[in-house]
Amino acid sequence: MAAIQLFNQFPCKTRVSTSSKSKSISKPLITVPMSSIIHRPVFSTGGIAVSRSDFRVRATDADDEWGTEPEARGSALSVADEAIESVEETERLKRSLADSLYGIDRGLNASSETRAEIGDLITQLESKNPTPAPTDALFLLNGKWILAYTSFVNLFPLLSRGILPLVKVDEISQTIDSDNFTVQNSVRFAGPLGTNSISTNAKFEIRSPKRVQIKFEQGVIGTPQLTDSIEIPEYVEVLGQKIDLNPIRGLLTSVQDTASSVARTISSQPPLKFSLPGDNAQSWLLTTYLDKDIRISRGDGGSVFVLIKEGSPLLNP
């Protein structure tokens, strides 16, 4: 219609030219439906009528020109609905996975049935991976990731306190700096007198859209953060007998002050760093699922790791 209005600005008349002595004969105006009209404008050039039969303007209604066919609109709505359902299903799977990890100590205390359920949820999430090329989305990899589950059996002795009695693993994390291509793996321990951490620093290289090669360069033993305050109870119970501690409270207070001084001295020391051998300090990691909350990776030997981004609501049971 806009094209027709444009042409209406230029007067196009159907004329028949004769000699100067002949009379001008005007043909009657014929009205045709707009749905079938084809304009063949005739331009006057020096008294000779010229018809441009190869120049046509097709008139269409507004819906056909500016809109879409009903079938196309219905198809677009169907695609949008499917996308929404897919996102909702992914979020449901993520929450189900997080719930199934509660109370199993990163997989150490998981039964065979629980492991099978977790494995099925992981497989379903991997099939819905919204980031098929994680190494092309380094901004999503960036940050601190908390280990929530693993099938890597070499970690189980550490988790079971077989190496450090009276000390439990408080947190295992991986921090990725995508700007500098560095990775830091860290284990934080908690004991009766304080906390400490052991970490490794590494560089990573992109080898494929999903795979990175990791080369560990340095180990770090963090400075112990000792408790500088020991709570002294009023009494202790030994073999059913209550022993009043008030008479020796002054001595215990002196011991507490000494312990606080030692804790402050130790905590002010720098961490201990050491080099790692180059030949055996390499590994690779394949990321099979990645979004802003969850990262699923597979390592050497087919072991699987489920990590949750620090600050994600999925960390809260």
Long-range Cβ contact pairs of 38-42 (< 8 A, separation 24 or more) = 39/4, 39/7, 39/12, 41/7, 41/10, 41/12, 42/12, 42/13, 42/14, 42/15
pLDDT band for 223, please (50, 70, 90 cuts): confident
Query: Can you say how many angstroms the Cα of residue 152 is from the centroid of all Cα atoms in its chain?
Result: 23
* Domains contained in the chain, CATH given: 2-66 (no CATH), 133-223+270-315 (2.40.128.20)
pLDDT tens for 131-182 read 999 999 999 999 999 999 999 888 877 777 555 556 788 999 999 999 999 9
What local confidence, expressed as pLDDT, does residue 228 receive?
55
pLDDT band for 115, please (50, 70, 90 cuts): very high
For 188, phi then psi, to 5°, come to: -105, 130
What local confidence, expressed as pLDDT, does residue 72 receive?
65
Where is average pLDDT lowest: 55-59, 152-156, 198-202? 55-59
Instruction: Provide, rounded to the nearest whole percent, the portion of the chain with pLDDT above 90.
Output: 38
Does position 82 have pLDDT exceeding 80, yes or no?
no
Does position 41 have pLDDT exceeding 50, yes or no?
no
Within 10 Å of residue 151's Cβ, how many Cβ atoms?
A: 20
pTM above 0.85, yes or no: no
Round to whole Å and give the CA distance between 35 and 272. Answer: 86
What local confidence, expressed as pLDDT, does residue 28 receive?
45
Round to whole Å and give the CA distance between 82 and 170. Answer: 41
Q: Answer for the pair 224, 267: CB distance below 8 angstroms, yes or no.
A: yes
- Kindly state the average pLDDT of the residues 111-116: 94
Where is average pLDDT lowest: 18-27, 85-94, 107-116, 168-177? 18-27
pLDDT band for 277, please (50, 70, 90 cuts): confident
What local confidence, expressed as pLDDT, does residue 2 receive?
45
What local confidence, expressed as pLDDT, does residue 144 receive?
97
- Kindly state the average pLDDT of the residues 184-193: 84
What local confidence, expressed as pLDDT, does residue 69 receive?
66
pLDDT band for 310, please (50, 70, 90 cuts): very high
- Kindly state the average pLDDT of the residues 5-27: 43
Round to whole Å and give the CA distance between 210 and 134. Answer: 6
What local confidence, expressed as pLDDT, does residue 158 receive?
73
What local confidence, expressed as pLDDT, does residue 210 receive?
93
